C-alpha cells in the first residue's frame, strides 16, 4: 500500500476499468485505500486488474457488464446498497470513439451505439447511483469528457456531439446539487496513450504522450473528499486548469 490513504474506507465505482485510464485509475484508487467496484465488458482485463490491485494490498469487486444494459446498472445499484449502503465516488470513464466520418455518412446504428454508451449509460448510472452517493459524506462524480466537445473538428461530429451532450448534462446536474454534499465535475484527460487515441490518431508516436498510469493520480484526486469543486471542467491538457462547465 502507498503512504497516501486519503480514500481509506471509501467505495468507488470505476467504469471502463479493464484497460487504459480506467484500469490505472482503479489501481490508484485501491492503493489509496478505496474499495473499487470495477466495471467493464472484458473479463480478462478485469481479472488482470484484480491481480494488480491485490498485489498492491487493495481490494476490488469485479462487475463484468455492458453499460448499455440499463437494467443491469439498476441491479448493480441494488447490490451496492445491500452490501455497503452507500457509494462515495463514481469515475464514469467508459466511452467509445465511434466512426471518424462526415456527419452525413454516419450509420444510424453507429450513432445510436455511441450515444448509448457515451451519454445514455451515464444517465442510467446517475439515476441508479445517486441515492447511494447521497449517503456519502462527500459524494463525487467525475465524467470523462474531451476537448472535442468544444472544438467540434470536421469528421469528429459523432464523438464531439456525445461529449457535448455529456458536458451539458453534467452542468445541469451539478447545478441541481449545488446545495448538497454531492459534487459533479468533468475531466478532459488530453492526449493519452490508449487504444482509443491510437485509433483516432494512428500516425502519432505513442511515446510522445502520457501513459494512463501517469495521469491516473489526477483522476483519483477528483473523487477525493478534498476536491470540493462542483460543476467544473478540469482540463489536464491545460495543466489541470479548472473552469466552469
Which tens digits make up the pLDDT trace of 38-67?
Answer: 999 999 999 999 999 999 999 999 999 999
* pLDDT more than 90, % of the chain: 89
10, 11, 14, 20: CA torsion to nearest 10: 50
Ranges of each domain in the chain: 11-244
- Look at residue 79 and give its three-state secondary structure: helix
| pTM, entire model | 0.94
Q: Which residues are catalytic?
A: 159
pLDDT tens for each residue of 195-232? 776 776 777 677 776 788 999 999 999 999 999 999 99
Helix (H) or strand (E) holding 150: helix 148-151
Class of 11-244 per CATH?
Answer: alpha beta
CB 45 within 8 A of CB 15: no
Contact assessment for residue 13 and residue 39, using Cβ atoms and an 8 Å cutoff: yes
Amino acid at each position: 500500500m502507498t503512504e497516501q490513504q486519503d480514500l481509506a474506507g471509501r467505495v468507488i465505482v470505476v467504469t471502463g476499468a479493464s484497460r487504459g485510464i480506467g484500469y490505472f485509475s482503479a489501481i490508484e484508487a485501491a492503493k489509496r485505500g478505496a474499495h473499487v467496484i470495477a466495471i467493464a465488458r472484458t473479463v480478462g482485463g478485469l481479472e488482470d486488474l484484480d491481480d494488480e490491485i491485490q498485489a498492491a494490498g487493495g481490494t476490488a469487486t469485479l462487475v463484468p457488464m455492458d453499460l448499455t444494459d440499463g437494467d443491469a446498472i439498476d441491479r448493480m445499484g441494488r447490490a451496492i446498497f445491500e452490501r455497503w449502503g452507500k457509494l462515495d465516488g463514481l469515475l464514469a470513464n467508459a466511452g467509445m470513439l465511434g466512426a471518424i466520418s462526415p456527419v452525413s455518412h454516419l450509420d444510424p446504428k453507429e450513432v445510436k451505439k455511441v450515444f448509448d454508451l457515451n451519454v445514455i449509460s451515464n444517465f442510467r448510472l446517475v439515476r441508479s447511483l445517486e441515492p447511494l452517493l447521497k449517503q456519502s459524506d462527500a459524494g463525487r462524480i467525475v465524467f470523462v469528457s474531451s476537448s472535442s466537445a468544444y472544438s467540434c473538428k470536421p469528421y469528429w461530429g459523432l464523438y464531439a456531439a456525445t461529449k457535448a451532450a455529456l458536458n451539458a448534462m453534467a452542468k445541469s446536474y451539478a447545478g441541481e446539487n449545488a446545495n448538497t454534499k454531492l459534487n459533479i465535475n468533468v475531466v478532459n484527460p488530453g492526449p493519452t496513450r490508449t487504444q482509443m487515441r491510437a485509433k483516432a490518431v494512428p500516425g502519432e508516436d505513442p511515446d510522445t504522450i502520457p501513459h494512463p498510469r501517469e495521469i491516473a493520480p489526477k483522476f483519483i484526486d477528483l473523487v477525493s473528499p478534498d476536491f470540493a469543486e462542483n460543476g467544473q471542467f478540469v482540463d489536464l491538457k491545460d495543466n489541470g486548469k479548472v473552469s466552469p462547465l
